[in-house]
Amino acid sequence: MNKELIATIISGLIFGAGLAISGMADPVRVKGFLDILGGNWDPTLMFVMGGAVIVMAVAWVLQKSMTHTWTGSEFFLPTSTTIDRPLILGAVLFGIGWGIAGLCPGPALIGLVLEPLSAAVFVISMLAGMYIFKLVKP
């Protein structure tokens, strides 16, 4: 097994464990965060996101002084800064799906283990959307 695959698996396990431990794989908690005006607002997701932003900020600072990843691969960083219609439409669709289901891709995959039936509907819909996107914009 190569170093990149091992690093990917470890990163995924840490990410999944963080989502499960923080409760962010629970759609009820996510919907509680999005319920700002309904009176049942749950701010815990804000703290999880804040922690993630801090970790990512440190990673960006460290990356600037590195010539390659810790596994020896080169960095593949986004070069486009264009905010166009497809980006905005994708963000809107993501937000609508997140608000309706209380899931995004990471927690949905965890949900396949924790609540397979309800998460499967989301994951199948997500995969169908990805397939349709490939058909529409190859």
pTM for the predicted model, two decimal places = 0.68
* Euclidean distance between CA atoms 93 and 13, whole angstroms: 27
* Per-residue model confidence (pLDDT) at position 55: 92
Token output for 96 = 């609508």
Locate tokens 């091992």: which residue? 6
Tens of pLDDT, residue by residue over 77-122, are: 888 899 999 899 989 988 888 888 888 888 888 888 888 888 898 8
